[in-house]
Amino acid sequence: MRKNVWAFAKKEWPVAASLAIVLVVWQFISQTGIVRSFLLPAPTQIISAFQHSRVDWLSNTLVTLNEILVGFAVAVVIGISLAILISLSPLARKMVMPYIVVSQVLPTVAIAPIIYIILGFDNTSRVVLVLLISFFPIVLGTVTGLTDVDQNLIYLLKSLGAGKVKIFYKVRLPNSLPHMFVGLRIGITGATIGAVIAEFVSSNSGLGFLITTSLTNFDTTLSYVAIVILTFLGLVLYGAVELTGRLLMPWLRSR
């Protein structure tokens, strides 16, 4: 156990060191007035605001987390399903792919009010916005993995009498996992951004709502607290997706 902790500390100490340096420099810049504390509160001020404010941070964090997870889960189901369809049918690729690209070209902030008008000012609209931002890299990554396959393996399995279904599960699906999880990691960061944008447009709770409300009241320190929590939340979710990928792909860990 101690050896594992020591090995982890030895491997990750540059991250901890760089974070410590950033916090020290940040504290120095704010306290010495190089940047006014109104614009850049010191880390100690942010911690104090978190401890002494009357905001229910846990409740608002859970609201944003729920939007992220639900939207991301829907994006995963739709994204992987579309990717399988596109990879198996050239006709479907030509018909569906342009609309998938168009969904990313459209500015989300611009179409968000339209989505709220159509679907209503509730959680459904926020989940849809999360979905729109996060599903594209999932589709693209999975399609790449399913199609960019060593053709020699496919020919070998066909020569042994394997059908399309067996080839899919034995070759295409395992090959797609590394590409898929690249898309999932990008997708979860997009889901976090999407939830905040959705709360910016219309919400009465959540971390995005707290950021806009505190800035409207000129309480920048409170907005920084929400931003720090949101950043930590995004890092945890990103790490969870990456850990899941490592567990599902043990052959990559051995490289």
Name the residue type at position 146. L
Domain residues for 218?
60-253
What is the tally of structural domains in the chain?
1
Residue 12's pLDDT is 66
Residue 11's pLDDT is 67
- 36 within a domain of the structure (yes/no): no
pLDDT tens digit string along 113-169?
888 888 888 888 888 889 988 988 999 899 888 887 777 777 777 777 777 777 777
- 108 within a domain of the structure (yes/no): yes
Question: With 70 as the cut, is the pLDDT of residue 98 above it?
Answer: yes
The string over 76-109, giving b where at least 16 C-beta atoms fall within 10 Å of a residue's C-beta and e elsewhere, is: beebbebbbebbeeeeebeeeeeebeebbeeebe
Question: Radius of gyration (Cα) for the chain, nearest Å?
Answer: 22
Please state, rounded to an integer, the average pLDDT across all residues of the chain: 84
In the structure, what pLDDT confidence band is assigned to residue 18 with cuts at 50, 70 and 90?
Answer: confident
In the structure, what pLDDT confidence band is assigned to residue 62 with cuts at 50, 70 and 90?
Answer: very high
List Cβ<8 Å contacts ≥24 apart for 4-7: none
Residue 186's pLDDT is 93
CATH number of the domain enclosing 224: 1.10.3720.10
Question: What would the mean pLDDT of 179-195 be, rounded to a whole number?
Answer: 92
- 142 within a domain of the structure (yes/no): yes
In the structure, what pLDDT confidence band is assigned to residue 68 with cuts at 50, 70 and 90?
Answer: very high
- 161 within a domain of the structure (yes/no): yes
Residue 54's pLDDT is 87
- 5 within a domain of the structure (yes/no): no
Question: With 80 as the cut, is the pLDDT of residue 93 above it?
Answer: yes
- 143 within a domain of the structure (yes/no): yes
pTM of the model: 0.85
Question: With 90 as the cut, is the pLDDT of residue 13 above it?
Answer: no
Residues in the chain: 255
Those residues whose C-beta lies under 8 Å from the C-beta of residue 13, and which sit 6 or more positions away, are none
Tokens of 172: 């295409």
